[in-house]
Structure 1
Amino acid sequence: MQIKFISPDRIGAIISIILGCLSIVESIRLYPYGNKILTGDHTFPGLIGVLLVIAGGILLFERTSKEKTKPVLPRGRTAFIMIVSIGSLFIYCLLIEYIGYFFSTMITFIYMIKIIGNYRWIFSILISVVLTTALYLLFIVLLKTPFPSNNLPF
Structure 2
Amino acid sequence: MKVSAADRIAGIVAVLIGLLSLSEAWKLYAYRIALFNGDHVFPFIVGLGLVLFGMMLSIRGDRISQGTANDRSEVKVSHLIYVIPVVLLLYVALIDWSGYLIATFIASIILFHLIGKFRWYWSIGGSLILTAALYFIFVEWLNTPLPSGSWL
| TM-score normalised by L of structure 2 | 0.72
Identity of aligned residues (%): 28
* Code of the aligned partner of 2:89: F
| Coordinate RMSD, CA, aligned | 3.4
- 2:22 touches 2:47 (CA, 8 Å); kept in 1? yes
Q: Is the 8 A contact 1:96 1:148 kept in 2?
A: no
Q: Cα offset for 1:153?
A: 5.5
Return closer, same or farther for 1:31/1:126 CA change in 2, 3 Å cut-off.
same
- Letter paired with 2:150: L
Deviation string 1:61-81 (CA, Å, 9 cap, x unpaired) is 33799x952665535555545
SS of corresponding position for 1:61: helix
Counterparts of 1:1-154 in structure 2 under 5 Å? Answer: 7-62=5-60, 68-69=65-66, 74-75=73-74, 79-81=78-80, 83-96=82-95, 99-115=98-114, 116-120=117-121, 123-142=122-141, 144=142, 146=144, 148-150=146-148, 152=150, 154=152
Structure 2 CA distance for partners of 1:95 and 1:55, relative to 1, 3 Å:
same
Could you tell me which runs of 5 or more consecutive residues in structure 1 were left unpaired when the two chains were aligned. Answer: none
Where is the helix percentage greater, Structure 1 or Structure 2? 2
SS at match of 1:105: helix
Asked if 1 retains the 8 angstrom alpha-carbon contact of 2:4 and 2:61, the reply is no
Query: How far has the Cα of 1:11 moved from its partner?
Result: 0.4
Structure 2 alignment gaps of length 5 or more? none
Q: CA deviation at 1:97?
A: 5.2
Q: In 2, Cα distance between the equivalents of 1:30 and 1:72?
A: 46
Q: TM-score, normalised by structure 1?
A: 0.71
Q: How many residues align?
A: 147
